[in-house]
Each structure stands twice: as C-alpha cells, then as structure tokens.
Amino acid sequence: MNAAELGQKVREIHAEIARVVIGQDEVVEHTLIALLARGHVLLEGAPGLGKTLLVRVLARVLGCESKRIQFTPDLMPSDVTGGNVFSQPRGAFEFMAGPVFTQLLLADEINRAPAKTQSALLEAMQERSVTVDGTTRPLPSPFLVIATQNPIESQGTYPLPEAQLDRFFFKLDVRAPDAAVEKAILVSHLGGFDATALDDARIERRTRPEELCAMQAAIRQVRVDDSLLEYIATIVGHTRAHRWLYFGASPRASLALLVGAQARAAMFGRDFVTPDDVKSLARAALRHRIGLQPDAEIEGISTDDCVVEILREVRVPASIAA
C-alpha cells in the first residue's frame, strides 16, 4: 500500500466517522494518526462531549473487536486482565481472559479508578501482552487503548500516574462545541439519530483488522530527513530545561512525534515528513508528558503554552521548511 492509497483509505474512514461524530474533526484526525502509529489515546473532556461515542463508532468503521471497561473506585486489576479460575469439571485452574484481550479497548473514565487498577494496563499498552501468575499472553493485533477521563478537578477522580500518562501516544482535549456545531447536533437528533442505537445509523465498515495492520506497517516507509530528526530531538530536549517546567518529556515523546509525523504525512498522501507534521502534533504528544512549576500554575500557564513557546524558540529546518 503506497501513501496515496493509504491517504484515500483514511479519508474514507474519517468521513464515515464524521457522519455521526459531529464537530470533532481535529480529535478524530489525531485519533486516526495515533491508530496508524500503533499508539494509544487519552481523551479528556467534560461529560457529554461525545468521547465514548467516538470510540464506539470507530470500532464499527474499523471492523475491529471492541470491549469496554467502566473504571470505578472498586475495580480490581484482575477485572481488567483476567485471572486463573478453578474449573470443577477439569479439576484444574484455567485462565479466564479479561476485557483487555480485544483489538479496541475503551477504558471509560479511567481516572475514576485508583492507581493500582490503572497500572493493570501498563504492560498491555507497552508490550501488548499480559502476564498473570507468571504466564505471558499476547494481545490481539491490532491493539489500541482509547481512554476517556474527566478533568482532574471533577469530583471522585484520581490523577493518572506519570508512568501511565507516558504510555499514551496522544492526549487530546475534547472541547465543547460552538453554537453552529451544537445546532448541527440538534438537527441530527431531530432527524432520528440516537446514540444508544448505532445500528440504526447504518455505519459502514471501511476497513478490516488485517488491512489496518498493513496500513500501520506502510507508514514506516515514509521518509524523514535527518534535519527533522534533529528538530524533534531539540523540541523534546527544550522541555527538560524550560523555565516553567519542573520535568520534561521522555524519549518516548520523541518517538511519538516521529511516528506520528510519518502517519500524518501518509494520511495526507505524502511519502515524506515536513516540519508542519511535527508542529501540528507537538501539543498532543507533549502536553501530558511535562510537569508545570507551581508558580506557572498559579499564573494560569498551561502545558500547551509551554509547547507553543518552545516551537517558537526552536529553529525550523530551512531546507524543507513548509
């Protein structure tokens, strides 16, 4: 599959999702980029903005097996991974797979569970396998976690540990719609759309898991100039010395920018990466991997503000500047 074919396929997927998920084009685009890059996504936003709907529609359009875990304070790690259960007929223990054994996992309201339960996803997200009682079992391919969380200030939430956050390829802010988009949502519902009855929405499958894996492999062929590798490394390096940040991003952030830029280039039908591919993904790849100084928080400075300032400071490679 070449870049032009991949780009056409992704546009078809995007258009089918946009028929149902109205007014969240950037969130959908970034989610598809993460999907092509084999990365996991954290969606943050207030209740009612369509985060769960996006994942449900995505599973149907991709033709992937999907499962949902509703995270609650009493959820246990074994409720995520599964465990060994004694079988009376066989007289022995056998493994009962948990909901993590799927292709598209919706971790709904992940920050309503304590860190102990959140950590059950660490191995699955990084190694794409689960170890229970000393036995490691591979997860299906493709495997993607899309987690939703309410803003940290919401009642009954727990902050995600830094190690958990770092395993998310992107963190995407889902914002409230403007008046025009909200009217379009109302018109859609007047026309008969019901988010609880997606079968009636006639959502068409646009790909299948095997084709999706081929698309993920194809983006690795997208060319990246050496100057862009230096550009990415410099951006991430600046997060570790920025005056408003008390810790910067890990090398995993550099990899996210690199592979994400390749995926974005392929999405637009190109077989080469430009600086704009990197710049457009910087906030999504970095905002959850850096920590603000207390003084910066008091002044109302956000991690996005820091990333934007770093992008202004770092020189764009002149030879391939967009």
Residue 277 has what pLDDT?
96
Distances (CA, A) of 294 to 189, 247, 297, 301, 308: 44, 12, 5, 10, 19
Q: What is the CATH number of the domain that holds 254?
A: 1.10.8.80
In the chain, how many domains are there?
2
Q: How many whole angstroms separate alpha carbon 98 and alpha carbon 132?
A: 11
pLDDT confidence of residue 155: 62
- In 10 A of CB 110, how many CB atoms? 27
Q: What is the pLDDT of residues 165-198, one digit of tens each?
A: 999 999 999 988 899 999 999 999 998 888 888 8
Of 192, 215, 238, the position where a domain reaches its end is 215
Task: Give the pLDDT band of residue 322 (cuts 50, 70, 90).
Answer: very low
Q: Do 286 and 249 meet the contact criterion of CB atoms below 8 Å apart?
A: yes
pLDDT at position 158 is: 78
Q: How far apart are the first and last CA of the chain?
A: 26
Burial of 314 (0-12, 13-18, 19+ CB in 10 A): buried
Residue carrying structure tokens 């995926």: 263
Q: At what angle do helices 3-18 and 51-62 cross, to 10 degrees?
A: 130
If asked whether residues 159 and 255 sit together in one domain, one would say no
User: Which of 106, 177, 108 is closest to 149 using CA atoms?
Assistant: 108
pLDDT score recorded for residue 152? 61
Give residue-wise pLDDT tens across range 72-127. Answer: 888 998 999 988 887 778 788 888 889 999 999 999 989 888 888 888 888 899 99
pTM for this entry: 0.91
Q: What is the CATH number of the domain that holds 181?
A: 3.40.50.300
Three-state secondary-structure class, residue 109: coil
> What's the domain range around 241?
222-320
Q: Which of 215, 235, 251 is the last residue of a domain?
A: 215
